[in-house]
Amino acid sequence: MIKNVISYRVIYGDTDQMGVVYYANYLRWFESGRSELLRQIGLPYGQIEEQGFHFPVTEVSCRYAQSARYDELVKIETELGALGRATLTFNYRISRDIDDSLLATGWTRHACINHAGRVSRLPKALENALKDSNQTSDV
């Protein structure tokens, strides 16, 4: 499967009063990982939008294992989980960079819609780029 790994340094604004990362920020990190994966295959999200397509989240799941804290370096691993006719599913693993300890896992499912807000088949360019990248990553 196609996989992307990025690092992120936790900023003070990511944390709550207890000094741990606020739970909803993990979903922002999922988005960062997803955006970088699309950039990696040569189709950044902005380019997809220019073609008239959007990918709203239709489902999300996040299981928290440990808390991340201010100034820690975390690793965000993103991979394509499933590719449907009009849907994409991405899987995520967030870990502490220093020791690879698991912080959270999750997934997001996205519908492909056009500018009118109607469900649409995935753009061919995206489908081909994902399939091509998937084949080269399995080698």
- Chain segment 82-138, per-residue pLDDT in tens: 999 999 999 999 999 999 999 999 999 999 999 999 999 999 989 888 888 876 655
**Would you state the pLDDT for residue 137?**
59
β-pairing verdict for 87-96 and 73-83: antiparallel
The DSSP H or E segment spanning 121 is none
pLDDT band at 1 (very low <50, low <70, confident <90, very high): confident
Q: Where are the domains of the chain?
A: 3-129
> What single letter denotes the amino acid at residue 88?
L
CATH of domain 3-129: 3.10.129.10
DSSP assignment of 44-75: -HHHHHHTTEE--EEEEEEEE-S--BTT-EEE
pLDDT at 128: 87
Give tens-digit pLDDT for 26-62: 999 999 999 999 999 999 999 999 999 999 999 999 9
Note the pLDDT of residue 94.
98
